[in-house]
Amino acid sequence: MTYPNIIKAEFLSRTNRFVAEVKVGGQQETVHVKNTGRCKELLIPGCEVWLTEPKTEGRKTRYDLVAVKKSTGVIFNIDSQAPNKVMREWLDTQGYDKVTPEYTYGDSRIDFYMERGNEKYLLEIKGCTLEFDGIGYFPDAPTERGVKHIRELIKAKSEGFNAAIGFVIQMDGVTEVRPNIATHPEFGTAMEEAKAAGVKVLFFTCHTEPDKLVITGMTEG
């Protein structure tokens, strides 16, 4: 996926989960942060960030903050909508007979339902923006919703679906994502239960640029 317009800015501060202050074109600007996670190791005062200008009516802010350069020099896409967009692009190249986003299963909406012949698939996608020493971690904040989705995938597997959870790694150079049990132990427990039940864990490596996020490969964990 590619953003139609992108502009560099300097990050100043984060007001709350949704809003940040940046300096763009020599002026301070309030922008929308397209990621409600903490991102505290990324959004550091003075760092380089990139913004898009959606130009939709009724917005309170002119720009969306979608990418940031970490102190290591690596560019991270932090747009929480990007993983599903790039995944849809990738799935459309994989020969499925049917790809349905936002599929209702049980009490949840699973990101993708696919069919290939008589086989039925459910795939839940999580974006990874947390990295330490070349390893990705998820989540960067507690996610009861994420645990709920894993429980649904375990149930789906028992009912004959090919069930998987996929981590879209929103940076270059990382090939593995581990449960961040320090932040949310229950998520780690749910992941172990899912693996034991036969739910696949997939890692999608990506190439990231300020205006682009592209899936480059897939491995199974």
Torsional sign, CA 205, 102, 188, 41: positive
Nearest in space to 127 (alpha carbons), one of 172, 159, 168: 168
CATH class of 81-220: alpha beta
What's the pLDDT tens digit per position in 114-135? 999 999 999 999 999 999 999 9
Where does the pLDDT of residue 190 fall: very low under 50, low under 70, confident under 90, or very high at 90 and above?
very high
- Outline where DSSP puts E strands in 147-210: 162-169, 177-179, 200-209
List every span in the chain annotated with CATH 3.40.1350.60.
81-220
Ramachandran region of residue 162, left (φ > 0), alpha (ψ -120 to 50) or beta? Answer: beta
What's the whole-model pTM score? 0.95
> Which SS3 state, helix, strand or coil, does residue 127 take?
strand
Distant-in-sequence, close-in-space partners of 10: CB < 8 Å, separation ≥ 6: 22, 23, 24, 46, 47, 48, 49
Assigned architecture for domain 6-77: Beta Barrel (2.40)
What's the pLDDT tens digit per position in 52-108? 999 888 899 999 999 999 999 999 999 999 999 999 999 999 999 999 999 999 889
List every span in the chain annotated with CATH 2.40.50.580.
6-77
Residue 36 in this model has a pLDDT that exceeds 90 = no
